[in-house]
Copies of this chain bind each other. A is one copy, B any other.
Amino acid sequence: MPERDLRTYFELFNEIGILEQLSRALFEARLPPGVLVSHFSILNHLVRVGDGRTPLELATAFQVPKTTLSHTLALVEKRGWIEMRPNPADKRSKQVWLTDAGRSFRDAAIESLLPELDRLAGGFPERDLPELIERLSAIRRYMDAARDGEAQPTLRN
């Protein structure tokens, strides 16, 4: 694998980073004050994969430290969008369940974004969007699966 191709991968992630910044700022501007994309993402993930997940499963899914997730869950629970229940399979653990209010808010949040997406899609129709998503998703799934790999040389040394 020539180094040139590796640098191309690097460019891909650079582009992804910028797009994430742009889309997050766009989305967050439409959410109620104090509600962040990280909060919404909890709800959206639970709708997509089903609720009853443990905090650790969520932290792993988002590749976020579990202490960060702990904090986020507390805020989302305070809004009444999720419920934390004991995990019957493990007394150390918990389960995160969506409330009706949580599902409603998630749907409303998506609705509120549609006009913005409409503006984007209207001014910049992208063909084969599902194919683009699938390619990104495949990369994501591979990285997800390969995450448990061993140490590599780093600048930390």
Contacts from A to B (Cβ < 8 Å):
1, 3, 5-27, 29-33, 35, 37, 41, 44, 62-64, 108-110, 112-126, 129-130, 132-133, 135-140, 142-144, 146-147, 149, 152-156
Cα distance A9–B63 in the bound complex, in angstroms: 22
Which applies to chain A's interface (DSSP): helix, strand, loop or mixed? helix
A6-B115 Cα distance, complex, nearest whole Å: 9
Q: How far is the CB of A106 from chain B (nearest CB, A)?
A: 11
Q: List 20 A-B contacts (CB under 8 A).
A: A1-B122, A5-B121, A9-B120, A9-B126, A10-B110, A10-B117, A12-B133, A13-B19, A15-B133, A15-B140, A16-B16, A16-B23, A18-B62, A19-B20, A19-B136, A21-B63, A22-B144, A29-B154, A123-B142, A132-B135
- A108 adjacent to B155 (CB under 8 Å): yes
Would you give the shortest CB distance from A13 to chain B, in whole angstroms? 4
B contact residues around A156 at 8 Å (CB): 30-33
User: Nearest chain-B residue to A41 (Cβ)?
Assistant: B17
In the complex, what residues of B have CB within 8 A of residue A124's CB? 138-139, 142
Whether B9 pairs with A117 at a CB distance below 8 angstroms is yes
With contact pairs A18-B62, A63-B25 given, residues A120 and B133 touching in the complex (Cβ less than 8 Å): no
* Given known contacts A30-B156, A156-B32, A140 and B7 CB-to-CB distance under 8 angstroms: no
